[in-house]
């Protein structure tokens, strides 16, 4: 049942701008670093000789959390607006399909779209390093994959929360405002405890306990997802 709802949602997002958002986020991040390194190529190659790949990944990491939180907010809102803008909730929920399946399909679609965006980031990072002649023999493939996907997995609580909020509120100003605030906070939250939830995507990649932050993110995301599903099952949706 959930797979049928998921396939229907895939059809609904055609022409909604979601695919553009999924690709433009990581491509824009890579383009920003390409400009940065292109303008100061000699400086970077001389100062960071021997650890160019490491420096590139560190520079990209600075923008991964804010990109993730903004992406989660916008993807969740656009998925919910497929029904909100057409007032199609009553028709959808009148079909022989459970509310839990509807909620799960939206969450799964959001997770798949963001995972695709992370894959684009990984490919773009590798291509950028190669185009800058950092060398293919010492390319840190595993670190590139970790950078692209571990922060994403650690951000599952945000994904579950914003899918829940965006499906619940027809007025998307509330979840979007909250999402933007969280994204901006992630830029400065490094000064706070590493266990501050907004910091989990960052510490899911750096530090000696990355696995712990990723696991905490996944488990917390599962809890929020279950609470959101129970609430969505009982709430009247206009």
Q: What is the mean pLDDT of residues 164-192?
A: 91
Note the pLDDT of residue 95: 67
Note the pLDDT of residue 90: 67
Contact criterion met (CB below 8 Å) for 132 and 30 = no
Note the pLDDT of residue 51: 87
Note the pLDDT of residue 57: 95
Alpha helix ranges (H) inside 40-98: 41-47, 52-61, 64-84, 89-93
Mean pLDDT, the chain, integer: 88
Domain limits of the chain? 2-234
Contact criterion met (CB below 8 Å) for 127 and 88 = no
Cα gap 199→38, rounded to integer Å: 30
Q: How many CA atoms lie within 13 A of 30 on its CB side?
A: 23
159: pLDDT strictly greater than 80: yes
Cα gap 216→86, rounded to integer Å: 37
Strand segments, DSSP code E, in the chain are none
Which residues, 6+ apart, have CB-to-CB distance to 69 below 8 Å? Answer: 155, 158, 179, 182, 183, 186, 198, 201
- pLDDT tens-place string over residues 179-214: 999 999 998 888 888 889 999 999 999 878 889 999
Q: Decide: pTM greater than 0.85.
A: yes
78: pLDDT strictly greater than 60: yes
17 φ/ψ sector (left φ>0, alpha ψ -120 to 50, else beta):
left
Cα gap 54→48, rounded to integer Å: 9
- pLDDT tens-place string over residues 84-134: 776 666 676 666 678 788 889 899 999 999 999 999 999 999 999 999 989
Note the pLDDT of residue 182: 95
DSSP assignment of 156-173, as one string? HHHHHHHHHHHHH-S-TH
Q: What is the mean pLDDT of residues 169-173?
A: 87
238: pLDDT strictly greater than 60: no
Cα gap 189→211, rounded to integer Å: 20
Note the pLDDT of residue 209: 84
Higher pLDDT, residue 230 or 238: 230
Q: What is the mean pLDDT of residues 133-145?
A: 91
Nearest to 7 by CA among 78, 120, 91, 102: 102
* The Cα angle at residue 73 between residues 60 and 186, in degrees rounded to 5: 45
Cα gap 165→172, rounded to integer Å: 9
């Amino acid at each position: 049942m959930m797979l049928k709802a998921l396939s229907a949602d895939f059809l609904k997002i055609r022409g909604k701008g979601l695919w553009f958002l999924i690709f433009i986020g990581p491509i824009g991040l890579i383009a920003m670093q390409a400009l940065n390194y292109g303008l100061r190529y000699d400086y970077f190659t001389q100062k960071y000789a021997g650890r160019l790949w490491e420096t590139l990944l560190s520079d990209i990491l600075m923008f991964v959390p804010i990109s993730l939180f903004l992406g989660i907010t916008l993807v969740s809102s656009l998925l919910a607006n497929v029904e909100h803008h057409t007032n199609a909730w009553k028709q959808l929920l009148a079909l022989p399909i459970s509310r839990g399946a509807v909620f799960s399909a939206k969450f799964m679609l959001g997770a798949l779209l963001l995972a695709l965006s992370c894959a684009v980031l990984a490919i773009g990072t590798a291509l950028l390093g190669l185009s800058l002649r950092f060398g293919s023999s010492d390319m840190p493939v595993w670190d590139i994959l970790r950078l692209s996907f571990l922060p994403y997995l650690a951000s599952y609580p945000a994904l579950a929360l914003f899918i829940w909020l965006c499906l619940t509120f027809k007025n998307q100003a509330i979840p979007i405002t909250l999402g933007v605030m969280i994204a901006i906070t992630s830029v400065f939250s490094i000064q706070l405890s590493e266990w501050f939830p907004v910091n989990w995507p960052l510490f899911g990649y750096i530090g000696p306990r990355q696995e712990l932050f990723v696991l905490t993110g996944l488990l917390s995301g599962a809890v929020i997802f279950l609470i959101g599903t129970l609430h969505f099952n009982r709430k009247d949706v206009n």
